[in-house]
C-alpha cells in the first residue's frame, strides 16, 4: 500500500503549516496574550478551536470529500460554483494575497522607511518572487517544507528563547475587561478573525499535488497523506501559537495598552535584542507572509486553471500575482475595509459545511445540506452587508452580538432537514 515516509510526511506537514502561517497568525496570538494576561491559557484554548481545529478540519473535510467542489455540491451545484469562486477570490486577490505584501512591508518600515516608491518596489519584488516559486505548485515542499518553514520556526524559537532567558515579567498581568469573564469564548471569537478556515478548504488540493510528487498516486493514499499532513500542521500551529501567546502575555505585562500584535512583537523584539530585534521580527514577517502568498497563488491558480483549462496555469498565476500587487498598494486598511463584509458573509457557511461533513450519513439526506447552509447563509449575508432593518434583525438573533448569530439558523436547518428526510416518501441521495 502506498504511504508517505515519515520524513516526507513531515516535509508536507511543514509545507501546509507554511501556507497557513501568515501575517494574521503572527499577530493574533501575541495580542491575545497581551490582552488576556493571567487568563492566557483559557483564552488560548478558545483560540485553538477556531484558529487550529477548524482550519485543519477544513483540510480533512475536503480531503475526505474528494475536493471542495464535491463537498459544496452536497448543497447544490450552483451553490458549489458560486461559493467556491467567492472563497478563492476572498483568500486570493481580494484580501489574503495582497495583505501578505502590505503587512510584511509594514514591518520593514522602521528599517527602510515607508515611502510610496519603496512600497511599490517591494510589492513588485515580493510578488515576482512568489510567482516564480508558485509556478511549480507540486514542488512547494522543496521550497516551503525544506527551506523556508524551518527558517521561520527557527527565528520564532529564537524570539521565544529570548523570553525564557530574559523574561520581561515573572507573572502575567491582570486580564483586560473582555478577557475577564469568559476568556475561552473571547479566544474563539478572536481566532475566528484569522479566516484560516476558508484557506483550509483550499489548501488540500495543492497538498495533494505535492503528495503525488512524492510518488504516492493511489487516491485513498493521497487522501490519508493529506489528512496526516493536516495533523502535523495543526501540531505546529498549536506549538507556535503557544510560544507567541506566552511572549505576548509577558510583553503586555510590562508594556500595557499595545494596540496590535505587530506592536507587541516589535516592542518585544526590540527590548530583547535592540535594533537586531527589528531585523529579526521583519525577517519573521517577510518569510511567513511570503510562504502564505506562494501557497495562495498556487491554490487560486490551480482552481481557475481547472475552471478555465484553455488558459495555461502560468498565465492565471501571473494575472493573480499582478492583480494582488496592485491591490496591495491600496494599503492594508483599505483592503480590509473592502473585503471584510464578503468574508463575514461566507465564513459561517464554510464552518457549517465543514462540521456537517463529519456527521455520518447526512450527505444521504437531501434536505439537510441545502436547508442548513441556506439558513446560515441568509443570516450571515444579512448581518455582514448594510441592509438596514434586515441586518438589524439578523444581528438581533441569539449570539448575534458576538458574531455567532448564524448558529441558531444552522441548528434549525439541521433539525428541519433531518425531520423532512424522515417523512414517508422522502428522497435520499443515491
DSSP, residue by residue, 258-323: --SHHHHHHHHHHHHHTHHHHHHHHHHHHHHHHHHHHHHHHHHHHHHHHHSTTS-HHHHHHHHHHH
Q: How far is CA 166 from the centre of its chain?
A: 32
Q: CA-to-CA distance for 24 and 92, rounded, in angstroms?
A: 15
The pLDDT value given to residue 90:
81
The pLDDT value given to residue 429:
56
- Helix, strand, coil abundance in the chain, percent, nearest 5: 80, 0, 20
4 pLDDT higher than 80: no
pLDDT confidence bin for 99, thresholds 50/70/90? confident
Cell numbers linked to 271: 527590548
**pTM (2 d.p.):** 0.88
pLDDT in tens, 347-394: 899 999 999 999 988 888 888 999 999 999 999 999 988 888 899 999
Cell numbers linked to 197: 478556515
Other beta carbons less than 10 A from residue 278's beta carbon: 18
Asked if 133 contacts 140 with a C-beta cutoff of 8 angstroms, the reply is yes
Cα angle 300-309-142, degrees, rounded to a multiple of 5: 45
55-80: average pLDDT: 91
Long-range contacts of 149-153 (CB under 8 A, 24+ apart): 149/14, 149/15, 149/17, 149/18, 149/291, 150/14, 151/287, 152/18, 152/21, 152/284, 152/287, 152/288, 152/291, 153/236, 153/240
Highest mean pLDDT: which range of 111-115, 253-257, 327-331:
253-257
Q: CA-to-CA distance for 2 and 110, rounded, in angstroms?
A: 50
The pLDDT value given to residue 252:
93
Range scoring the smallest mean pLDDT among 5-19, 72-86, 159-173, 188-202: 188-202
SS3 428: strand
pLDDT confidence bin for 428, thresholds 50/70/90? low
Highest mean pLDDT: which range of 196-210, 224-238, 337-351:
224-238
Q: CA-to-CA distance for 161 and 151, rounded, in angstroms?
A: 15
The pLDDT value given to residue 336:
65
Q: Which residue has the higher pLDDT, 360 or 129?
A: 129
Cell numbers linked to 115: 515611502
Q: CA-to-CA distance for 265 and 23, rounded, in angstroms?
A: 12
1 pLDDT higher than 60: no
Residue 4 main-chain phi, psi, to 5 deg: -70, 135
Q: Write b or e for each residue in 358-387: b if 16 or more Cβ atoms lie within 10 A of its Cβ, otherwise e.
A: eeeebbebbbbbebbbbbbbbbbbbbbeee
Q: CA-to-CA distance for 371 and 413, rounded, in angstroms?
A: 5
The pLDDT value given to residue 353:
95
Q: CA-to-CA distance for 235 and 238, rounded, in angstroms?
A: 5
- Rounded mean pLDDT of the chain? 89
Q: Which residue has the higher pLDDT, 245 or 1?
A: 245
Q: CA-to-CA distance for 66 and 425, rounded, in angstroms?
A: 30
287-308: average pLDDT: 91
pLDDT confidence bin for 339, thresholds 50/70/90? low
Check if CATH label 3.40.718.10 holds for domain 6-340.
no
Q: Where are the domains of the chain?
A: 6-340, 359-430
Asked if 150 contacts 291 with a C-beta cutoff of 8 angstroms, the reply is no
252-278: average pLDDT: 91
Q: What is the DSSP letter of 401?
A: G
Q: Which residue has the higher pLDDT, 206 or 133?
A: 133
Amino acid at each position: 500500500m502506498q504511504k508517505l515516509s515519515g520524513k516526507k510526511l513531515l516535509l508536507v506537514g511543514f509545507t501546509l503549516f507554511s501556507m497557513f502561517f501568515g501575517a494574521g497568525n503572527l499577530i493574533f496570538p501575541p495580542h491575545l496574550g497581551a490582552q488576556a494576561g493571567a487568563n492566557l491559557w483559557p483564552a488560548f484554548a478558545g483560540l485553538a478551536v477556531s484558529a487550529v481545529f477548524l482550519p485543519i478540519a477544513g483540510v480533512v473535510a475536503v480531503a475526505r470529500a474528494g475536493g471542495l467542489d464535491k463537498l459544496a455540491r452536497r448543497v447544490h451545484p450552483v451553490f458549489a460554483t458560486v461559493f467556491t469562486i467567492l472563497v478563492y477570490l476572498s483568500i486570493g486577490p481580494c484580501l489574503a494575497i495582497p495583505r501578505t505584501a502590505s503587512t510584511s512591508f509594514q514591518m520593514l518600515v522602521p528599517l527602510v522607511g515607508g515611502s510610496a516608491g519603496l512600497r511599490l518596489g517591494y510589492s513588485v519584488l515580493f510578488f515576482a518572487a512568489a510567482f516564480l516559486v508558485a509556478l511549480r505548485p507540486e514542488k512547494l515542499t522543496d521550497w516551503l517544507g525544506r527551506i523556508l518553514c524551518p527558517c521561520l520556526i527557527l527565528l520564532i524559537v529564537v524570539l521565544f528563547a529570548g523570553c525564557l532567558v530574559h523574561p520581561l515579567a515573572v507573572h502575567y498581568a491582570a486580564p483586560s475587561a473582555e478577557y475577564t469573564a469568559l476568556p475561552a469564548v473571547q479566544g474563539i471569537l478572536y481566532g475566528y478573525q484569522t479566516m484560516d478556515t476558508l484557506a483550509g478548504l483550499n489548501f488540500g488540493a495543492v497538498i495533494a499535488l505535492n503528495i503525488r510528487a512524492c510518488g504516492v498516486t493511489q487516491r485513498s493514499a493521497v487522501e490519508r497523506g493529506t489528512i496526516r499532513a493536516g495533523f502535523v500542521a495543526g501540531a505546529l500551529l498549536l506549538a507556535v501559537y503557544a510560544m507567541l501567546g506566552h511572549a505576548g502575555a509577558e510583553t503586555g505585562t510590562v508594556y500595557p495598552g499595545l494596540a496590535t500584535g505587530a506592536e507587541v512583537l516589535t516592542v518585544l523584539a526590540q527590548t530583547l535584542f535592540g535594533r537586531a530585534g527589528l531585523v529579526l521580527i521583519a525577517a519573521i514577517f517577510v518569510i511567513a507572509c511570503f510562504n502564505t502568498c506562494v501557497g495562495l497563488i498556487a491554490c487560486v491558480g490551480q482552481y481557475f486553471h481547472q475552471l478555465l483549462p484553455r488558459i495555461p496555469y502560468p498565465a492565471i498565476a501571473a494575472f493573480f500575482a499582478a492583480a494582488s500587487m496592485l491591490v496591495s498598494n491600496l494599503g492594508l486598511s483599505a483592503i480590509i475595509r473592502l473585503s471584510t463584509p464578503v468574508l463575514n458573509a461566507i465564513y459561517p457557511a464554510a464552518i457549517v459545511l465543514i462540521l456537517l461533513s463529519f456527521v455520518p450519513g447526512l450527505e444521504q439526506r437531501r434536505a439537510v445540506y441545502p436547508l442548513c447552509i441556506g439558513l446560515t447563509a441568509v443570516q450571515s449575508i444579512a448581518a455582514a452587508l448594510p441592509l438596514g432593518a434586515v441586518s438589524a434583525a439578523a444581528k438581533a438573533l441569539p449570539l448575534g452580538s458576538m458574531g455567532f448569530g448564524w448558529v441558531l439558523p444552522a441548528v434549525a436547518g439541521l433539525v428541519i432537514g433531518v425531520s423532512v428526510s424522515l417523512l414517508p416518501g422522502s428522497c435520499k441521495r443515491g
